[in-house]
Structure 1
Amino acid sequence: MRIAVLADIHGNLLALDAVLDDLKQRGSADLTVNLGDSVSGPLWPRETFARLEALNLPTVRGNHDRRVAADPASDEMWPSDAYAQERLTQEQREALFAQPLTLEIAPGIIAFHARPDHDEKYLLDAITDGQLVRAPLSAIRRRLKTLDPACRIALCGHSHRPELIRIPGGPVIFNPGSIGCPAYDDATPPAHVSEQGSPHARYGIVTLGNAGQPDRFEAIAVDYDHEAAARQAEQAGRPEWAHALRTGFMPG
């Protein structure tokens, strides 16, 4: 069984289509899962929603999906969330909010956006000198306390950093990286940045072993027309997004 793992599209339709084309060239997956944060960003939220709606993928809710769905009168809107919210219908926003926090997509394989019990707290990451780095194993173990003990593979996104970690005596945790947003800054204390280091669209494939064969994990980077995406971000008044799309780094 081959499972394609998509995460953190952030309204980047060009990157999503490049990933879907690449997946098709590699041979269709038996199952494709979307780990959330699908539309927030100064790019193509409405068009991305429509593409994903047609695919009808099993999908979990990300923190930005929740924020896009919120009533702006009662929840402070971040610019990327506001941009997406203005371009989606009420029905589409409600569909985002209705997505589950966690989803068992196959026996022992659980998908969630950030942590099993929270859509916005990092699971595998810590903040050091304003950068996301891998968290200590002890911290990751604590953050997994609410995970079903029967889970053998956990699929997560949120940090936009590709990671593959096997917890001794526990599950394998796989983060494929971000399809559509290769770098971001977060001013929430402690302020920090996440940087993939290149403009590629990232996704993953998990091939489940059978007859005693091991599971296989592939982190894949796909080139696409990131310059067109950067120009779209510039037109939306987000030069820092444009820089991130072109380079995989934040300005600095």
Structure 2
Amino acid sequence: MRIALISDIHANIEALDAVLADIDAAGDAEAIYHLGDLVGYASNPHAVIDRLRTRGIAGIAGNYDSTVASAYKHCGCKSESPRQETLAHISFEYTRSVIDAEHRRYLGALPFSMDLRPLGGHTNGPRLILVHGTPTLNTLYWTEERPDAFCLRMAEEVRMRPGDVLAFGHTHKPWHRHVAGKHFINAGSVGRPKDGNWMAGYVRLTLGESPDPQVEFVRVPYDIESTIAGLRMAELPEEFAEFLRTGGGLG
């Protein structure tokens, strides 16, 4: 079974549409799931939510989704400098100001996690567990530098067995590691990559064709100039445009 995993769209409808077009063109994904952070930083939160709803793409709440839905004081994003902190607040206040009640309710209804058996509940096949940050917090950053012991501690939280897959996002940097037969996948970011590559990213996950899951990281070009034009029309900071152009070089 082939599954597409998308994460951290961040109101970038052009990037989302490019990724969905690429998935459709491949024609072999039996399911698509999102890993949260649908809104924030770009100017089209309603369009992103509507596209996912129209396509019937299920998924979970990112920290941005849950904080916008609950009118929390901050997005829960990690800032590395005072300017980044300022930009995070500008983005959060913009998103809170434009999101309407219907779309806020949708964000608020997203579950914290999903626990799936893609090969069917009657088989002993692998589980696919979806979270945004970690199984304990959707604000905790699970970077590639985390030691194996951290991965195994998170695996214990959801009772993973060898062959199971735990997928997440939040850091906007894709990676895959397997520890003690358990697989950990960061799906990267559709709409706001931070790995130095501006193109939209997603994961093609194949389960059941071999003992271990097959993981492919895919990058897709998109109409970034339209996204940047939307940022400018919304009078969002120019740093957001440069962040997109450089794949996270600034922000």
Which TM-score applies when normalising by structure 2? 0.84
Alignment-mate amino acid for residue 118 of structure 1: L
CA distance in 2, matches of 1:215, 1:25: 22
Q: CA deviation at 1:82?
A: 2.4
Q: 1:240, 1:250 within 8 Å by CA — same for their partners in 2?
A: no
Q: 2:176, 2:184 within 8 Å by CA — same for their partners in 1?
A: yes
Q: Report SS of the residue matched to 1:161.
A: coil
Q: 2:91, 2:236 within 8 Å by CA — same for their partners in 1?
A: no
51-60 vs 134-143, greater mean Cα deviation: 134-143
81-90 vs 217-226, greater mean Cα deviation: 81-90
Alignment-mate amino acid for residue 249 of structure 1: G
CA distance in 1, matches of 2:134, 2:211: 28
Root-mean-square deviation over aligned CA pairs: 1.9
Q: Closer, same or farther in 2 for the Cα pair 1:143/1:149, shift >3 Å?
A: closer
Look up the match of 1:5: 5
Q: Report SS of the residue matched to 2:219.
A: strand
61-70 vs 97-106, greater mean Cα deviation: 97-106
Q: CA deviation at 1:149?
A: 2.8
Deviations 1:109-150 (A, max 9, x none): 111111012111022x1xxxxxxx522222333344312234
Look up the match of 2:170: 158
Q: Give 1 or 2: higher helix fraction.
A: 2
Look up the match of 2:160: 149
Q: CA deviation at 1:170?
A: 4.3
Look up the match of 1:18: 18
Look up the match of 2:65: 65
Q: CA deviation at 1:55?
A: 1.6
Q: Report SS of the residue matched to 1:145.
A: helix
150-159 vs 171-180, greater mean Cα deviation: 150-159
Q: 2:5, 2:205 within 8 Å by CA — same for their partners in 1?
A: yes
1:114 to 111, 123, 133: 133
Q: Give 1 or 2: higher strand fraction.
A: 1
1:215 to 199, 213, 216: 213
Could you list the runs of 4 or more consecutive aligned residues of structure 1 that deviate by over 6 angstroms after TM superposition? Answer: none
Deviations 1:65-97 (A, max 9, x none): 01111236xx24632232222222223212212
Matches within 5 A, 1:173-192: 173-182=184-193
Look up the match of 1:247: 246
Q: 2:196, 2:249 within 8 Å by CA — same for their partners in 1?
A: no
Q: Report SS of the residue matched to 1:134.
A: coil
Unaligned stretches of 5+ residues in structure 2: 76-88, 119-126
CA distance in 2, matches of 1:213, 1:119: 30
Which TM-score applies when normalising by structure 1? 0.84
Q: 1:8, 1:180 within 8 Å by CA — same for their partners in 2?
A: yes
Look up the match of 1:197: 196
Q: CA deviation at 1:105?
A: 2.7
Q: Report SS of the residue matched to 1:158.
A: coil
Q: 1:164, 1:173 within 8 Å by CA — same for their partners in 2?
A: yes
1:80 and 2:79 correspond: no
13-22 vs 170-179, greater mean Cα deviation: 170-179
Unaligned stretches of 5+ residues in structure 1: 126-132, 183-194
Q: CA deviation at 1:25?
A: 1.0
Q: CA deviation at 1:176?
A: 1.9
Q: 1:230, 1:246 within 8 Å by CA — same for their partners in 2?
A: no
Aligned-residue sequence identity (percent) comes to 31
Q: 2:71, 2:96 within 8 Å by CA — same for their partners in 1?
A: no
Look up the match of 1:42: 42
Look up the match of 2:82: none
Q: CA deviation at 1:213?
A: 5.2
